[in-house]
């Protein structure tokens, strides 16, 4: 099953996707509240149902959210309307980023990179760099290789088992912090990187790679 089909199934009903959270991540909110990221033009890659973009818009940011799923974008527009904020949303595969023909000051990419095959990541990072204005910021998180999700820690490529109806069949790529340093450092100045633990589905802790960066 192709990723687009998997995501359309995951977003068949609003709020059912296991990764959908109406509250923005603490790490993102800290960057905004500390003014390390000030109101600017934002691209939210893999925006899902739009909640993180809605948070940013409520703080004065101009937001464009993109997602491969038509269902997700439909719900995102509905959620933005309910919240009373103006956000642009667009159905788009992240492979087509450069078709946007515009640039941004901040790119938010939360829990997206572990869905990108290793061989495609360098091109993706280069595309993100091209979309950023001078001194533009980039926040990227993904699963660390020590996460226990699907088959246990240490395995680099994992497939969501059939028992999980929302995302079964999805292939995911788990990385070390050092692997990602090597991936990013040609195009970005790494401001902060760390391994973090956060509660995920089923109240289990997941292990994440966190990178906050600036365009070189």
3-142+176-215, CATH topology level: Rossmann fold (3.40.50)
Domain extent listing, the chain? 3-142+176-215
Is the Cβ–Cβ distance between 88 and 65 less than 8 Å?
yes
Task: From 135, 16, 149, select the one nearest 72 (Cα to Cα).
Answer: 16
Dihedral sign of CA atoms 201, 117, 140, 82 in order: negative
Task: From 108, 49, 61, select the one nearest 86 (Cα to Cα).
Answer: 61
Task: From 29, 13, 73, select the one nearest 49 (Cα to Cα).
Answer: 73
Look at residue 75 and tell me whether its pLDDT is greater than 80. Answer: yes
Q: With 0-12 CB in 10 A as exposed, 13-18 as middle and 19+ as buried, what is 35?
A: exposed
DSSP 175: B
Q: What is the pLDDT of residues 15-40, one digit of tens each?
A: 778 788 889 999 999 999 999 999 99
DSSP 24: P
The pLDDT value recorded for residue 49 is: 97
Look at residue 186 and tell me whether its pLDDT is greater than 80. Answer: yes
- Give me the phi and psi of 117, to 5 degrees please: -55, 150
Q: What is the pLDDT of residues 83-110, one digit of tens each?
A: 999 999 999 999 999 999 999 999 999 9
Give the model's confidence band at 13: pLDDT under 50 very low, under 70 low, under 90 confident, else very high. confident
Classify 28 as helix, strand or coil: helix
Q: What is the pLDDT of residues 36-54, one digit of tens each?
A: 999 999 999 999 999 999 9
Cα gap 210→195, rounded to integer Å: 6
pTM over 0.85: yes
């Amino acid at each position: 099953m192709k990723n687009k089909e998997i995501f359309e199934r995951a977003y068949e009903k609003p709020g059912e996707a296991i990764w959908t959270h109406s509250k923005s991540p603490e790490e993102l909110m800290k960057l905004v509240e500390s003014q390390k990221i000030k109101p600017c033009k934002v691209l939210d890659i893999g925006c899902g149902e739009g909640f993180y973009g809605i948070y940013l818009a409520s703080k004065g940011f101009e937001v464009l959210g993109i997602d491969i799923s038509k269902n997700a974008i439909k719900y995102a527009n509905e959620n933005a309307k309910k919240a009373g904020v103006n956000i642009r949303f667009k159905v788009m595969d992240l492979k087509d980023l450069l078709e946007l023909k515009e640039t941004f000051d901040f790119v938010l990419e939360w829990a997206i990179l572990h869905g990108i095959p290793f061989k495609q990541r360098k091109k993706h990072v280069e595309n993100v760099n091209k979309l950023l204005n001078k001194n533009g910021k980039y926040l990227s998180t993904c699963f660390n290789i020590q996460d226990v999700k699907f088959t246990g820690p240490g395995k680099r490529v994992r497939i969501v088992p059939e028992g999980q109806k929302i995302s079964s069949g999805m292939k995911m790529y788990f990385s070390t912090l050092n692997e990602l340093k090597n991936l990013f450092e040609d195009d970005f100045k790494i401001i902060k990187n760390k391994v973090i633990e956060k509660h995920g589905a089923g109240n289990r802790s997941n292990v994440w790679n966190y990178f906050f960066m600036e365009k070189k």
